[in-house]
Structure 1
Amino acid sequence: MSELSATAPVGAAEPTGDASARGLRGSIGVVGIVFLVVAAAAPLTAVGGALPVMLAIGNGAGSPMAYVVATVVLLLFSVGYAAMSRHVVDAGAFYAYVSKGLGTPVGVGAAGLALLTYTAIQAAIYGLAGATAQGLVVQYGGPDLPWWVWSLVLMAAVGLLGYRNIDVGAKVLGIVLTLEIGVITVVAVAVLAQGGADGIDVRSFTPSEFFSGAPGISIMFAVASFIGFEATAIYGEEARNPRRTVPLATYAAVVLIGAFYAVASWAIVLAFGSDGVVAAARADTAGLVFTAAAEYVSPVIAEVMLVLLLTSLFAALLAFHNAISRYLFALGRQGMAPGVLGRTHGRHTSPHVGSLAQTASAFVVVAVFAAAGSDPVLQLFTWMSGMATVSILLLMVLTSVAVLAFFAHSRVDRRIWHTRVAPALGTAGLLGVVGLVLANFTTLISGSTALATVLLAVIVAAFGVGVVVALTRSPGRAPTRSSGG
């Protein structure tokens, strides 16, 4: 086997000296990685924010089936992805996989897409989180400060945790995630136990309901809700026994996220009735899920959910921060970015320079939107999350093709289903989703055709810059770990 480790990243020269000092270290297991991945998916944000939009302008009561379809596509993708994780262990994940399968130029282009994806989605969440915090503080009698003040407070907390060892962040996310999943579960169980508005039915999972309205819009929101599941491989270097941990975490994360969303969304449909949920969602898109919580459980649980929405957003911010800093680390270590980014902290063994750089870039994006007087939700969140959705889908298509290419020319794994059939089906499914998203992209960003063109051009430019960088730079030797305090 040609396994690649932290000390021999894809495309890098063989290091010299103390190899162990050059990689990330940690003891995170399957459960910890799954926490990081599901936290990035932000369950309460998806159920409380994205689902009502799917119900209102997508395929209505058929929205739960969109999560099932997305889960099947991503599971097919994950088969090859997990198989390749046994041979490539690198903090760059998608970037490392594409480099190994399709060559370094395309791989660094993929890294450009990855950095754009996670930078954009994190900036989007800073806008939504800032607006959410502002509303909560005012609601409970606090000062009415601008949304960006709260975004900066959250940024400081995320930066502090991201600077430290991944085990610290995983523990924080574990607590937050348990609370938000718990409260959604309570609401879902209460709705099902009380029979919903018109009794229990499974119309949401029938073909007729799924293909009603605009299923393409629901599919793209469903796929967007999975952004961040790549983290299973990103944390491979910091995992116990990554050859076993990463595949298990990948399958567990996709199945758990998909099943949770499907059941939770079905419960919300039943709360208002399959015939009445569309009208209810259109009448009160922002408050739909909280109204269901107040009616079927208690007004107190609705208040708790509002607070947990903010902690859900914080968990997602921390997860994406960790992903970006590790991409920067992988690029710096390989010589495709300034070498200082490839340094690990002397005590925390974290990519601390990449973490600081990521905090700085997030500050710049948020500051630009704040200075322009932009709306944190309608503009910052909507535009950036829309661009991130297209970017991550293209990145996954590249990765899926790279998996096929890698196993075709390496022959290190001869399992037909894992290395050929499932990756090919996953690629076809992803291409179908890309088509749906592009067809509805203007709706996704709630903007004009001109704005959609600009954002899509940024995605193409991010990939192009990565290719140019790869063609003009020589892979560098892995840098030594710093001894920062």
Structure 2
Amino acid sequence: MATVSDPAPPPAPAPEGHRLTGRLGVGAIVFMVVAAAAPLTVVAGTVPIGIAAGNGPGYPATYLVSAVVLAFFAVGFTAMTKHVPNAGAFYSYIGVGLGRGWGLGSALVALVSYVTVQGAVYGYIGFALGSLVESYGGPSLPWWLWTFVVLAVAGVLGFRHIELSSKVLGVLLVAEVGIVLVLDAVVVGKGGTDEGLSSAFLNPTEVLSGAPGLGLMFAIAGFIGFEATAIFRDEARDPDRTIPRATYAALAIIGVFYTVSAWAVVSAWGDSAVVAEAAADPGNMLVVTAQDYLGTAAGDVMQVLFITSLFAAVLSFHNVLSRYFFSLGNTGVVPASFGRSHPEHSSPHVASLVTTVVGAVLMAASAIAGLDPVLEVFTWLAGIASVGIVGLMLLACIAVVVFFRRTGVDRRPWQTLVAPVLGVLGLTAILVLLVENLPLLMGGSTALGIGAGVLLLVALAAGFVLAAARPSAARDLVRATRSDAAPQI
């Protein structure tokens, strides 16, 4: 007869001054993580590139494929939520499943990934904001000046209580998603071009034409941010329920939105013309589409909302990164002061300031080096982040399988074995594509591509060194592993 060993006592609650508070519901968390995915930025920037360089009119199907693979990841990720001791997201899940070395290595990879993806968006928004001001007759200023303005605003909002950020992100997200949905509806209502609405994404021949691997690579990058729901665990109303629901909701919203919007863009130009148009002017393709179907004013509004979409992404990544620093401060990985919360705002104010400083240093270095804000800062840093975060998702899937096989605390086959294994297979294929094409993401430089890969591997390996050198770091992961003791016969 099976008996279960007595669980070890849970970790002691964090002392006053080291806690985050909030009553975020599913909607608020979904707003923050979907905003991090920057839906308008993806539709305006990535979709044209995916069509031109990927699989043409079949490109919308790559979002469906990506969503399905990430759904497998989400099943195991959410099943493990109540067994994870803190809001460390990836590193906590991986550490509980695979051990402290893997967990600490994953924490360092996550820091590198979120620092670089935030830096990528900072570079892009500085360029875009400067271009917008100039187009309306404003002064011509260096991109980095605008970037530092945005850095300051994000820093102020990140210093305050999380609910302020969630309200700002909610307004911005509704606006950017709203105008794209209006465009989608009008394109569908008019039946697209004379060719009619596109059906290429349903045709396997079209989906596999061109370079479907490149298409999938661009598509998966558009989902970065949805996995960060778990980082808001301490500020969620009911984390064991809120986090899983928010994860599924965010993935469904992003997946459906991207697929429908990419299909609408293809339909707006027609299967026969869309590739040529996307290749000729990818940066302005969505604005031109809006002008054609909604009028000139809509194109102007789209340009402004593109800026707010980038800002929403910056603010979301700032919140995620500051909570990583906060969690690591409370587990002894980084200085303990990082894990202090503000007495009035209950925010990770020290970690938020650190996040602002790190972003400022990275952008200052980019400016001093004379890097192009889009072709170099954005593409290089986004390339590093894409590989890093997909790699973390893969490790998280493996950790889920190992954890439930070892502990037996949940024996549901779909949640604990089948879906995570399918996630491992899908994410492995995607990671191979990303690594093979990393030089492309890094501006075509093989040396930079190799350097980016080495950086991430060094960060992962450093976790094992840190685990050996600092036995007290992230000990909560060990306690959590022991508390879920396997059933005994």
Whether the 8 Å contact between 2:17 and 2:342 is mirrored in structure 1 is no
Distance 1:416-1:291 versus aligned 2 partners, 3 A rule: same
Aligned AA (2:340): R
Task: State the distance in 1 between where 2:244 and 2:224 align.
Answer: 17
1:467 maps to which of 459, 464, 467? 464
User: d(CA) in 1 for partners of 2:450 and 2:198?
Assistant: 42
Counterpart code for 2:416: T
Counterpart of 2:414, as a letter, is: W
SS of the residue corresponding to residue 235 of structure 1 reads helix
Does the alignment pair 1:54 with 2:37?
no
Residue 164 of structure 1 is aligned with which of 154, 160, 163?
160
Distance in 1, matches of 2:336 and 2:94, equals 21
CA shift for structure 1 position 117: 0.7
> In 1, distance between residues paired with 2:462 and 2:164?
34
Identical-pair percentage:
47
Structural mapping, 1:77-476, within 5 Å: 77-197=73-193, 198-475=195-472
Equivalent pairs counted in the alignment come to 470
2: distance between equivalents of 1:123 and 1:21?
Answer: 29
Residues 265, 375 of structure 1: alpha-carbon distance in 2 compared, 3 angstrom cutoff: same
Matched with 1:11 is none
CA distance in 2, matches of 1:126, 1:222: 21
CA offset at residue 162 of structure 1? Answer: 0.6
- CA positional deviation for 1:244: 0.6
User: 1:447: how far off?
Assistant: 2.2
Q: What one-letter code is carried by the residue in structure 2 that aligns with 1:165?
A: H
Letter in 2 for 1:186: V
Q: How many angstroms apart in 2 are the aligned matches of 1:434 and 1:297? A: 39
Q: Is the 8 A contact 1:36 1:231 kept in 2?
A: no
User: With structure 1 as the length reference, what TM-score do the two structures score?
Assistant: 0.94
Change (3 A) 1:98 1:476: closer
Change (3 A) 1:120 1:221: same
For residues 7-63 of structure 1, the C-alpha deviation after alignment (integer angstroms, 9 at most, x for no partner) is 96xxxxx447x7465321111000001001100000010000011110111111111
Deviation at 1:182, TM superposition (A): 0.2
Q: For 1:303-331, what per-residue CA distance to the aligned partner results, in whole angstroms no more than 9, with x for missing partners? A: 10100011000000011011111111111
Helix, strand or coil at the partner of 2:210:
coil
Q: Is the CA contact (8 Å cut-off) linking 2:105 and 2:462 kept in structure 1?
A: yes
Encode CA deviations 1:97-142: one digit per residue, 9 max, x unaligned: 0110001111010001111111000000000000000000111111
Q: CA–CA distance in 2 between the matches of 1:466 and 1:365?
A: 23
Q: Residue 64 of structure 2 aligns to which amino acid in structure 1?
A: V
Please tell me whether the aligned partners of residues 224 and 389 of structure 1 are also in contact (alpha carbons under 8 angstroms).
yes
Deviation per CA, 1:145-166: give whole Å up to 9, x if none.
1000000000000000111111
CA deviations on 1:48-101 (whole Å, 9 max, x unpaired) are 001111011111111100000000000011000010112225221011001100
Partner amino acid for 2:406?
H
Q: TM-score, normalised by structure 2?
A: 0.93
Distance 1:446 1:35, change over 3 A: same
CA contact (8 A) 2:37 2:222 kept: yes
| Distance (Å, rounded) in 2 between the aligned partners of 1:200 and 1:329 | 49
Q: Give 1:474 deviation, angstroms.
A: 3.0
1:425-465 deviations in Å (ceiling 9; x for gaps): 01110001011112222222222111111111111122122
Return the letter of the residue paired with 2:372. Answer: D
Residues 34 and 226 of structure 2 are in contact (CA less than 8 Å); yes or no, is this contact kept in structure 1? yes
Tell me if the contact between 1:61 and 1:204 (Cα under 8 Å) persists in the aligned partners: yes
Counterpart Cα distance in 2 of 1:211 and 1:476: 47
Contact 1:119–1:324 (Cα < 8 Å) also in 2: yes
Aligned to 1:73: 69
